[in-house]
Structure 1
Amino acid sequence: MPGQRSITEAEKLVEEKLGGIRVRREQMAVVANMHRAAAAVRQHLENSVLREAELTWTAFVVLWVVWIWGESETRRVAEEAGISKGTLTGVARTLQTRGLVRRSGHPTDGRLAVLSLTEEGETLMRRLFPEFNEEEAWVVGQLSDEECRRTADVLRRVVLQVEAHGEERRLALLDGAAPAPRRSGRRPRS
């Protein structure tokens, strides 16, 4: 479990801290629990089935995207994996060094790069994914098949909400301004 506190302890602390503040608690609980669930699942899978393959979650997701979609432009892989192009560059370099992916120039646009799985990468995914899926099943083992379908549907609706209306919402919140550049959290050197 991520962190030192249980989900119940965290919920109690949030209630104590926000007791007098007007917030939409049910919606907050959904988003907080999605985050906590994602972090717990990711950590469990990295520390179990992905550990023996010496893969991080992000490396596995990149392999998955290229395995499912086939040869793909790096910008599309980054988009599908939910990571920045800069992060993909480092992950792809590591996977390429391990002989799992091949990076080549785009056939018609020299400014673009394409990723594909090597034979070794294909073999790894065919062997690893069934083990990964067994852990997925274990993680949701307390849910019935119907609860899994309903939960997947609800989460899909959350994703569709953000995909369909997120940009419009962002523009409204920022009065049409572009978002400020992301910062690493580091302070500039003096």
Structure 2
Amino acid sequence: MNRLTKVPSAELNLDAISVVTNMYRAAQGLRNKMERDVLSKYGLSWTAFSLLYDIWVWDSLETKKLAELSGVSKATVSNITNTLERKELCYRTVDKRDRRITYVAITDQGKQVMEELYPNFHKGEIDIVSSLNQKEQQMVSQLLRRVIRHNNF
């Protein structure tokens, strides 16, 4: 705080700093915890899980949409998809009408992994927010959704 208050700015907003710092720490902490406690057993990174989760929910998605949903670049989707394909968890198809469009779909093995993995992942989600009651969880969720919408994340 001492260092920040010495920054030459009449508009230093310590509340904004606190909120963003805490959101970052929470995001990094939950990512690390889930990778360590759940995803490592399946050899999946957070990003690989995110992609696999989305194609599990939607069955198949265009790579551009998959990148948007996961908050990563199309190049990252391509690299992660390569890894998931090697593990036989997904496969790619090219649009018959427009060969520039590629879809990623989940395999039966990918569905099986997600059906086994997700209940453990969900237990981790519950554990992470266990210090908040239901009303507090709903309030945090609403506030974060507002930040997400406002910033088009």
TM-score with structure 2 length normalisation? 0.94
1:73 and 2:59 matched: no
Identity of aligned residues (%): 32
Over alpha carbons, which structure has the higher Rg?
A: 1
Moved over 6 A (4+): none
1:110 and 2:99 matched: yes
1:39 and 2:25 matched: no
Residues 84-163 of structure 1: matches in 2 within 5 Å?
A: 84-163=73-152
Pairwise CA distance, 1:16:
2.1
TM-score with structure 1 length normalisation? 0.76
| Paired residue type of 2:24 | H
Equivalent pairs counted in the alignment come to: 150
Deviations 1:95-114 (A, max 9, x none): 00100001111132111111
Deviations 1:26-56 (A, max 9, x none): 0111111101100000000001100101100
2:4 aligned residue (15, 18, 21): 18
Name the CA distance, whole Å, in 2 between partners of 1:133 and 1:107: 37
Q: Which runs of 5+ in 1 are unaligned?
A: 1-14, 167-190
Deviations 1:118-148 (A, max 9, x none): 0000111111111100001101111111111
> Which of the pair has the greater relative contact order for Cα pairs under 8 Å at 6+ separation?
2
Q: Which runs of 5+ in 2 are unaligned?
A: none
Matched position secondary structure for 1:52? helix
